Structure 1
Amino acid sequence: MPSYTPSLLRIAQVAIILTTFTPAILGISVGDVFIVKTGTTNGGCDGKNIDGWFDDTVTLANSASAGAAAVDQDSRKYLMTFFSIRPQDDATKAGGIYRVTVYLKAQRAYHSMLLDQINRVKDVLDLKGLPPKGKPRLYCNSKWLQEQKWTDIAFDDVTGLPRTDQKKVEDVFPKDTNGLVPFWSDDLRQYLKADPGDYCSDRDNLAATQDQTGPSTVTLCIDNFASTQGETLANVPSVTKEKVSVSSLQVHSLTLFHEMFHLVLGTAGTPDHSYNLNSIVRFGTAKATENPESYTFYALAYYLGQTTQFTFANSKSAKKPPPTTPKRSPSEIDLGLLARFQMDTRDVPRGVWVA
């Protein structure tokens, strides 16, 4: 493996920065990936900055993919911080003692899975793949859904009008016994189940992805986005000192990036374990690789590490380390370190990280 020189690292940094322009270069727009609701009512996105958010989503996916594939020590620290993955080698090669170490085999498997999941999202954004249920819908509030009661007259899935045979919702759509209620989508001519009430009317809700219907949908609750945050990566506050947490550098476009993991990987396999950075950096690997916000913090941190004078490998800005060559021979392994780990990475105890 060749050593990493400052000039090579600068070239890599320029490559990351150039990914900002990937959507424009490839001619890919948000309308290529989503069927976007038009207008200003019933979930319409006219007048919203969805193009800027989409471009950032592509940029962050490229950054995350590059970071997960990188083998320099600083890049590997990001994986340890946000996913508890400590790859001592790349995801496909190992030599000497690594090959017979069960722990490292598990780590390489997690590393490969992580890179695969990021690249699945990236492929959808690059038009190299589709989500499981085809081209999804994008809405900019939850007014595209009409709440009903199970005993209401159902809508006809062909005409969109109330059924003339007077059949009730519970007659045409499986009734839920856990408190969920039916919602009708005139756009999709389908029903779905959800908690009662207008989802975006709760100010704590920023977005939702559901894959009950075909196609799946992403709903952005734009009116709930924090007014103190910028719109896009171009509006991230300047970082001029150390110990600035990545959690203080949030922008609106991160919400769409987060939802892409629900959309592409499926909602069942991507539970929102936490949105809080202090909790996320304590997760074990299995939990972290399910959690979409782990990918979101990771992608933003790695992007900032490539486009500012600081590294965010420990979730806060710090001076960048000098370039080093990853250790690859058994003689360079800290065997005591390996002995302290179990096969499945444990959650980090409280007090280790501060966001």
Structure 2
Amino acid sequence: MFQYFRDSNNSKNQVSEFILMGFPGIHSWQHWLSLPLALFYLLAISANILILIIIKQEATLHQPMYYFLGILAVVDMGLTTTIIPKILSVLWFRAKTISLPECFAQMYAIHCFLTMESGIFVCMGIDRYVAVCHPLRYSSIITESFVIKATVFMTLRNSLSTMAVPVLAAQRHYCSQNQVQHFLCSNPAVTRLSCDDRKINNIYELVLAWTITGGDLGLIILSYALILHSVLKLNSAEAASKALSTCSSHLILILFFYSVVVVLSITHSASKTIPLIPVLVNVLHSVIPPALNPIVYALKNKELRQSLYKVLKMNIKKT
């Protein structure tokens, strides 16, 4: 794929690199934002690594629910590492240039990780649906084999469906402008610089958003509607409360992820009049959810919280 990008650039593009300008309208003081971004990045990496360590060390967490949480941690680290180090290099070292192949590779990675996170939320929603609505069949349906197959399917689905985004972007003709009004090689920000028609790019991204992200959200809403319907039929208020508590942390993460996606979609459509907002939301969406996901789960999930205390206590004793 990278070879295709190089060939496409040599034959079609007159510019050899892009310049990432950062936040539109605040170039003179945007370097002050590097500190909170760096802190969020460190928090995201350390918190997700800690989640992975806890899941690996604690035998009680060797369950499909926590396997999906571990996969989510890996995806979150991949997403934020694809984006934040480059942003910090722009802010700290003024390394604004990025080659076209590197730009299209980053575009591909961002789309892959975002759709993968959406897919993992679907898997977690199915896991909670079976746990609440069919508890006696849970161990026979949600197995380690199910986790592996679901993860492989989501990986293949997302990697193949998003490949067309950077490929179509690489086919555009970038004849003169090379200043990207963004910190990232986002598809709208990059293809806006092309000298030819980018309608096909916009249509494909819209179709991708509706079929992948929209489809995932629909499945999640369906799973939680069925969970709510099942919970309302319970005669015991305590049992209903316990059933809902097992889903609370997952539901919080889903609401945060998809609400930001909706805001991002709306602000992108208004980017001609308020360009700063979609850029800011795009950057924050790449670092805040990865930092908050493990914290929310640790605070809301009693079993994970107890395992965290246990692991930290053991490490303190060793030192």
Q: What range describes the TM-score normalised by the shorter chain of this pair?
A: under 0.3
Using CA pairs below 8 Å that are at least 6 residues apart, which structure has the higher relative contact order? 2
Greater share of helix: 2
TM-score, with structure 2 as normaliser: 0.28
TM-score, with structure 1 as normaliser: 0.26
The structure with the largest alpha-carbon Rg is 1
